[in-house]
Structure 1
Amino acid sequence: MPKTKGDSVRIGRQYEEIALQYLASKGFGFIAKNFHSRYGEIDLIMQKNGVLHFIEVKSSRSINPLLKITPAKLHKIIKTIYVFLAQYEYSCDFCIDALAIYQDHVAFVENVTLFFENFTAYNT
């Protein structure tokens, strides 16, 4: 039986809960989850050491979940971050992170914009 949109949302929320528990165990404080703007959604917003972390949660059973974060997706995340910062009047440092769940492994990549800049530079 094929997956429905509802199944995908439910599964995504389960992975976000795994991510939330993982990050809490690493000392991150919870700010918000599933923040929406007209540009898109940010899965988790956490804080650690005075820095806001906007976290994209990705999972896969067959490929590296980080490959699902495209430049277009990053652009939407950045626009949504600025909506969040303006709406809640935050004025602190921030970064965009990714938490990948691949099979039974969790990988947390801080500041993915640097990762993608280096990846792009290496592959050109």
Structure 2
Amino acid sequence: MSREKGKEGENLACLFLEQNGFEIIERNFFAKYGEIDIIATKDDVLHFVEVKSGENFEPIMNLTAQKLQKLIKATHIYLTKHRLANVYCIDALIVKRGQCELIENITMGAL
């Protein structure tokens, strides 16, 4: 997927989150192990959101176990760097054909 398409998907994801009561804290946080697409908060919970988008395939299929482990490590780096002890979860936001679906707490069985 092109960078432009990826950015378009992230923009749609941010709009979707904001429309559903989330406050966007940061976008594209880079850490040694990878990138966190969106960091948002809602109801005093930090949400680390991985955006997957695509048109002619199921975008969730690009969320591999390896990617998830990198996301977990990047999340811990963010929390440490900002000295945060907030309740948090790692979510996936799927963008397909202009529609968004939020899947919350995708790491529940992975830790």
Shorter-chain TM range is: over 0.9
CA distance in 1, matches of 2:17, 2:30: 21
User: Which stretch has the larger CA shift, 56-65 or 75-84?
Assistant: 56-65
Structure number with higher helix proportion: 1
- For structure 2, the 5+ residue unaligned runs are none
Give CA deviations for 1:37-92 in whole Å, capped at 9, x if unaligned.
11000000000111100000011112211111011000000110011001111111
Provide the alpha-carbon RMSD of the alignment: 1.5
Matched, 1:92 2:86: yes
TM-score normalised by structure 1 residue count: 0.83
TM-score normalised by structure 2 residue count: 0.93
From 62, 72, 77, the equivalent of 1:78 is: 72
Amino acid at match of 2:67: K
Structure number with higher strand proportion: 2
Deviation at 1:110, TM superposition (A): 0.6
- Higher relative CO (Cα under 8 Å, sequence separation at least 6) belongs to 2
Bigger-Rg structure (1/2): 1
- For structure 1, the 5+ residue unaligned runs are 119-124
* Match of residue 107 from structure 1: 101
CA distance in 1, matches of 2:92, 2:49: 5
Q: Kindly tell me the number of residue pairs found equivalent between the two proteins.
A: 110
